[in-house]
Structure 1
Amino acid sequence: MATAEEITRHHQPGPENPWVRGAPQPEAVVIAPYDPAWPARYAELARDVRAALGDVALDVEHVGSTSVPGLAAKDVVDLDVTVADPTDEAAYLPALEALGYVLTVREPSFHEHRCFRLAEPRANLHVFGPDCPEVIRHRMFRDWLIAHPDEKERYAEAKRAAVPGGGTVMDYNRRKEDVLRGIYARMFAAAGLL
């Protein structure tokens, strides 16, 4: 079980180069108005992942901005997939590749995180192990934004403000990091974790 310290710790990049196929190229970040079709897109993606992985998929969750009703977001659905052992790529990688997912990130120092990208429809699939603090954080953040419209709007404003400047998606993420961490701090404090 993840501890409060593990859940509240912000990830710092490890020593490894996480990019399986090279660092991402700059791409325009577009924040779209909330699309009520996103939950159905997630449901279809999750159904396919569960069918392909069977018992290997211990859990599949809709996370990220598209999982928050009313929140503007990049038109990319994020899924967290929990497996018994993320290092056992043979247990899930071939099945995900058969669905069109491409392994883009391997981060042993970050809870053995693996990230796959699906080109159409656009999706990011994150693989973690059981009781992973990052999965807990993702669910908490989604649920916090759903329950707190003021925080959802604060995050939407930060997203819109982070778009100018171009660069990679990682650059965009860095530009909204201070606001994001402020929301996390209030969320963690309210949950009694800080």
Structure 2
Amino acid sequence: MPFPDELAAVAVVDYQPQWAVDFERLAGKLRSAMGDHARAIDHVGSTAVPGLAAKDCVDMQVLVDAIDEDRHISLLAAMGFRCRPEAWNRAEVSGGQECRKLVFAPPAGARRSNVHLREVGGPNVRFALLFRDYLRADEDARLAWGAFKKRLSLSVPDLLDYGQIKAPATVVLMTAAERWAAETGWRPTPSRVV
């Protein structure tokens, strides 16, 4: 659920080259603040895919050896980041395995973003990188996914409802992504080793 300062109707916009610049700026701040705690920082999600329509919210994946809620929440809180409290922002199922995670919102009034802390080697790490890399590689899938999200946002402007409806469609998209990964020999490689 969004924090009160994040309440707004879902809006999916055309790709913005500024998203990559915003990711670099945020990644630099996280790198400085987290030091050795961060093993890699990747731009993930739709804003990481050139040419893909997305919500104007930069998603980042920060890999840590192991989630330590007290330490990581304190570390990011010192930067003003707010840990999202919902259960689905603490764990997710990926590849049939439950994976721990923490998701942080930016400081109030800062650039919209989500920082996803995940454990090195988890299937949820692979999922995020495969989603990004598949949509970067397959123009037809990228255009169809963007068009779907734009249409959905116009008819379902509530973020929670939007996410609930998008989730099963993501499963279908990821089935195609898995087929692509098998055909191409794709392997997950974090792009930002710290």
* TM-score, scaled relative to structure 1: 0.80
Which consecutive segments of 4 or more residues in structure 1 shift more than 3 A?
Answer: 21-27, 164-168
Q: Deviations over 1:102-147 (max 9, x none)?
A: 0014424641111100141111001111111111111011011111
CA pair 22-70 structure 1, distance change in 2 beyond 3 A:
closer
Structure 2 residue 127 is the aligned partner of structure 1 residue 137 = yes
Say if 1:103 and 1:115, in contact at 8 Å, map to a contact too: yes
Share of identical aligned residues, percent?
30
Which residue of the partner structure matches residue 51 of structure 1? 32
Structure 2 residue 95 is the aligned partner of structure 1 residue 107 = no
Match of 1:85 among 66, 89, 102: 66
Q: Secondary structure at the match of 1:78?
A: strand
Q: Secondary structure at the match of 1:139?
A: helix
Q: Secondary structure at the match of 1:176?
A: helix
Give, in angstroms, the shift of residue 167 of structure 1: 5.6
Match of 1:147 among 129, 137, 154: 137
Larger helix proportion of the pair: 2
Q: Which runs of 5+ in 2 are unaligned?
A: 93-97, 184-194
Counterpart-to-counterpart distance in 2, 1:89 and 1:156: 34
Say if 2:53 and 2:147, in contact at 8 Å, map to a contact too: no
Deviates more, 1:35-44 or 1:100-109: 100-109
Structure 2 residue 47 is the aligned partner of structure 1 residue 66 = yes
- Give the length in aligned residue pairs: 173
Q: Deviations over 1:26-48 (max 9, x none)?
A: 63001121111111100010010
- Residue 100 of structure 2 aligns with an amino acid whose one-letter code is E
Larger strand proportion of the pair: 2
Give, in angstroms, the shift of residue 179 of structure 1: 3.2
CA pair 168-50 structure 1, distance change in 2 beyond 3 A:
same
Say if 1:78 and 1:126, in contact at 8 Å, map to a contact too: yes
Counterpart-to-counterpart distance in 2, 1:108 and 1:79: 16
Counterpart-to-counterpart distance in 2, 1:123 and 1:29: 14
Q: Deviations over 1:71-118 (max 9, x none)?
A: 1111100001111111x1233222211222100144246411111001
Which residue of the partner structure matches residue 189 of structure 2? none
Give, in angstroms, the shift of residue 64 of structure 1: 0.6
Q: Which runs of 5+ in 1 are unaligned?
A: 1-18
Structure 2 residue 35 is the aligned partner of structure 1 residue 31 = no
